[in-house]
Chain A
Amino acid sequence: MSTANSAHIGERHSYDVVIVGAGGAGLRAAIAAHDAGARTAIVCKSLLGKAHTVMAEGGIAAAMGNLWPDDNWKVHFRDTMRGGKMLNNWRMAQLHAQEAPARVLELEEWGALFDRTADGLISQRDFGGHRYARLAHVGDRTGLEMIRTLQQRAVSLGIDVFMECTITDILKDGKDGDKVAGAFGYWRESGRFVVFEAPSVVLATGGIGKSFKVTSNSWEYTGDGHTLALRAGASLINMEFVQFHPTGMVWPPSVRGILVTESVRGDGGVLKNSEGRRFMFDYIPEFFKAETADTIEEADRWYTDKKNNRRPPELLPRDEVARAINAEIKAGRGTPHGGIYLDIASRRDADYIKRRLPSMYHQFKELADVDITREPMEIGPTCHYVMGGVEVDADTGASSVQGLYAAGEVAGGMHGANRLGGNSLSDLLVFGRRAGLNAAYHAARVKNQTPVSIHEEAVQAAANTALAPFAEEGGENPYSVQKDLQEVMHSLVGIIRTADELEQALAEIEKLAERAEHLTVEGNRQYNPGWHLAIDLQNMLWVSECIARAALARTESRGGHTRDDYPMTDREWGTKNIVLSEREGAIDLAIKPLPALPDELKALFEEQS
């Protein structure tokens, strides 16, 4: 090919707003930016419609009150904050709860077909940590409906999409500028470079789960946006909080980690150990005692009568359930393949299961030879979601770098120490829209006042960095380094952590980073996954270090962060955020106060019902 190994940059585009990512957050941001009059482009690593959002199963949380008229934004806000162990950015949680219903209705306006209630409204289902049945859904393929609706909307608006194009650098204004001026990337198909000039860039790149061995996340989740932000001068918060979803498949080995939706429990499924005991009753924490059923009878009545009964302990927030499962397995009460039983077969009839959970039925039947209408599933925790992300302004999604915005899983703050199921899809819509709008406003301001321009040296440097793995001979295979990193994160920075292990992890990550400086890739630049991984691996190392550092610093247990050596939740830590930034190539850690809850919202937690 003509591009063999030249760092030549032949292709340039100019836009007002460039959105990095085409999941729910990126697409919603693009639609908003377009509607605000900005010339908008979407750039994404996979084909359009294949982002993680497509895999979401259970639903979109929004207090529409279609089934339970008592539901409203205040209840949703309260549930979200309690689920996040009060570490959420309150303003984000408030905006999210207030705006989610309108964002869901808008999807319907754009063609989405949600499941209906008897009177023809959007149906809502139960999920962990939500007081009322609140998740708008389509069977167990809600993410597919959401991404297709947004994708079709974006296409009909004529928004430009650059598919299979990976952004590797945020470009700044001038030589030492502090404003965003564009983004640099390569086409996966040809390996050729491309430069986007734009005063506003929105990061909507999703999460980091590929750094862990057992995960529900795909190859895309290498923490690109987290690292792009860090390297561009923005900060990350809450990185110690990684969500392990309680129910991933455990067998056969090749599907280990693939998600089993929480809807199985929302629709009546229960967890049992090898002795057949519904063990979740043994793990109800003090914090949730008042709202959790303590007998099987009460728990079972709750599905039909929520007013007079409390929620089954299987529907506690995910961090609680994941820890309980972990403890049961460690105590030797696991299944033959090292999991726990998730049983819906003995509780609901086959037709109901197939109607409510068609893709779970399909997934187990085809991948594990298990008929979930007849036998229990074997499940165990899997790395699923990162609460941590770019520190942003709640109302606008702006990072501390002018022109750089973040929304969706890559943004931090909204979910605090633990995310409730269903609150991600709604987060994407609410904050995707806000970030897109504000990125468009920013672009308009910049164009009228102080136009920005890209610094050519930075472009060349980005090109050279990307090509480095081709120059190296006799270096390591990127796949081996990735595998070792996943092992380190899994065994030393997993669900249960200790200072010793975290320190060991940091030492290991440092060694891996050294190895990653000398990677060798086979072949040429044309659609070369080995090369792509060599580039992504650098980001995986950055975020892994961030997670381990923050986890070491937070000497307490809270939500998605459990320290064996500090098993209690600490009031002091409840008012603090760990903020990470980059300084001279190293990670800098600071502790900052959490924005305090205003009195009128505080009252919502006192009127405990």
Chain B
Amino acid sequence: MGYDLSMRVWRGNEDGGALQDFTVSVEEGEVVLDALHRLQATQAGDLAIRWNCKAGKCGSCSAEINGRPRLMCMTRLSEYEPSETITVTPMRTFPIIKDLVTDVSYNYEKAKEIPAFAPTPPDPDGKHRMMQVDVERGQEFRKCIECFLCQDTCHVVRDHEDNKSAFAGPRFFLRYAELDMHPLDTHDRRQLAQAAAGLSMCNITKCCTEVCPEHIKITDNAIIPMKERVVDRKYDPLVWLGSKIFRRDQREEVES
């Protein structure tokens, strides 16, 4: 049954802002995004929000709901008591553009630093052969919808603007891990991840994993294995020697 919901929504821009109180009528089965859309259509036409799919697939509608980083389209109102006030604020780690919309360009910049995928040549019939078990690890990471909630949550950058230049963040550790575990990829990015992406700054608190709407085990399945292998190689002279001779990414480093 429908009822009147009390909401507090952060409104403002880079010059400042505040929580604003609203009362909005809502219906059974609705999500936080529905309530905000109704606000937009009836009370606040210029309320800035991002959304696209409304089904947890595109990762556009990230915000903090009662302080928790979540997707607004996947947060049911039925999780809260009808009398409870729902507070929606923008992701804290990124600079504000307006209202619930933040400047997430940090993430797109980090994405540019990741080297391109470089596969082995295909079989003579033009096809690649990979076994399902071998692609599954990578597939888990590729479920990522780039909502950047993990980036928002990670304490290394959440209140430490100065760490951003050295730290790619959990979303991009996934990318390094994914490439590293890709059955066809020829690079070896472990050292790169350690050096360029700031993997060592992560102290495996698992906060990122907790907020991931895709339930990707970021810390256990990507970060920890990467950390382990980085360390392994440092202490394994054979691997070290091999990497000196064969690795393409290192060759490039020397040449440039």
Q: In whole angstroms, what is the CA distance A290 to B53 when docked?
A: 38
Contact (Cβ within 8 A) A363 B45: no
Contact (Cβ within 8 A) B47 A529: yes
Given known contacts A120-B131, A359-B57, A367 and B112 CB-to-CB distance under 8 angstroms: no
Cβ of B129 under 8 Å from chain A: yes
Instruction: Return chain B residues, CB-CB under 8 Å to A153.
Output: 116
Q: In whole angstroms, what is the CA distance A218 to B54 when docked?
A: 8
Given known contacts A105-B126, A109-B122, A116 and B132 CB-to-CB distance under 8 angstroms: yes
Which of B95-103, B158-166, B240-248 contacts the other chain?
B95-103
Which of A251-259, A549-557, A593-601 contacts the other chain?
A251-259
Contact flags (1/0) for B152-193 with A, using CB distance below 8 Å? 000000000000000000000000000100100100000000
Given known contacts A367-B31, A368-B29, A522-B46, A483 and B142 CB-to-CB distance under 8 angstroms: no
Closest Cβ of chain B: how far from A512's Cβ, in Å?
Answer: 16
Q: Which A360-381 residues have a C-beta within 8 angstroms of B?
A: 362-363, 366-368
Contact (Cβ within 8 A) B60 A529: no
Contact flags (1/0) for B128-153 with A, using CB distance below 8 Å? 11111001001100111110000000
Contact (Cβ within 8 A) A141 B57: yes
Instruction: Return chain B residues, CB-CB under 8 Å to A220.
Output: 52
Contact (Cβ within 8 A) A116 B46: no
Contact (Cβ within 8 A) A366 B76: yes
Contact (Cβ within 8 A) B127 A121: yes
Which of A48-56, A269-277, A497-505 contacts the other chain?
A48-56
Q: Which residue of A lies closest to B105 (CB)?
A: A163
Q: In whole angstroms, what is the CA distance A255 to B59 when docked?
A: 17
Contact (Cβ within 8 A) B56 A55: no
Cβ of B225 under 8 Å from chain A: no
Contact (Cβ within 8 A) B116 A156: yes
Contact (Cβ within 8 A) B55 A363: yes
Given known contacts A121-B129, A152-B117, A48 and B108 CB-to-CB distance under 8 angstroms: yes
Cβ of A111 under 8 Å from chain B: yes
Contact (Cβ within 8 A) A523 B45: yes
Tell me the number of A-to-B contacts counted with CB atoms below 8 Å.
Answer: 170
Closest Cβ of chain B: how far from A540's Cβ, in Å?
Answer: 15
Contact (Cβ within 8 A) B117 A253: no
Q: In whole angstroms, what is the CA distance A116 to B138 when docked?
A: 13
Contact (Cβ within 8 A) A527 B98: yes
Cβ of A189 under 8 Å from chain B: yes
Contact flags (1/0) for A121-135 with B, using CB distance below 8 Å? 110000000000000
Cβ of B20 under 8 Å from chain A: no
Q: In whole angstroms, what is the CA distance A188 to B114 when docked?
A: 28
Closest Cβ of chain B: how far from A479's Cβ, in Å?
Answer: 4
Q: How many residues of B contact A (CB 8 A)?
A: 62
Instruction: Return chain B residues, CB-CB under 8 Å to A522.
Output: 44-46
Cβ of B200 under 8 Å from chain A: no
Cβ of A478 under 8 Å from chain B: yes
Q: In whole angstroms, what is the CA distance A255 to B55 when docked?
A: 8
Contact flags (1/0) for A1-34 with B, using CB distance below 8 Å? 0000000000000000000000000000000000
Q: In whole angstroms, what is the CA distance A155 to B135 when docked?
A: 23
Contact (Cβ within 8 A) B45 A362: no
Cβ of B210 under 8 Å from chain A: no
Q: Chain B interface (Cβ within 8 Å of chain A)? A: 13, 27-31, 34, 40-42, 44-60, 74, 76, 97-99, 101, 103-104, 108, 111-112, 114-117, 119, 122, 126-132, 135, 138-139, 142-146, 179, 182, 185
10 closest Cβ pairs, A-B complex:
A252-B29, A523-B46, A530-B45, A120-B129, A156-B116, A111-B117, A479-B41, A527-B48, A527-B98, A522-B45
Beyond A49-B59, A526-B13: 11 further Cβ-contacts under 8 Å? A50-B60, A54-B57, A113-B130, A116-B130, A116-B131, A152-B111, A252-B28, A253-B27, A258-B55, A366-B56, A529-B48
* A-B contacts, 8 listed (Cβ < 8 Å): A50-B52, A54-B52, A145-B142, A148-B144, A253-B30, A258-B54, A362-B56, A479-B45
Q: Chain A interface (Cβ within 8 Å of chain B)? A: 46-52, 54-55, 105, 108-111, 113-116, 119-122, 138-139, 141, 144-145, 148, 152-153, 155-156, 163, 189, 218-220, 251-255, 258-259, 359, 362-363, 366-368, 477-480, 483, 521-524, 526-531
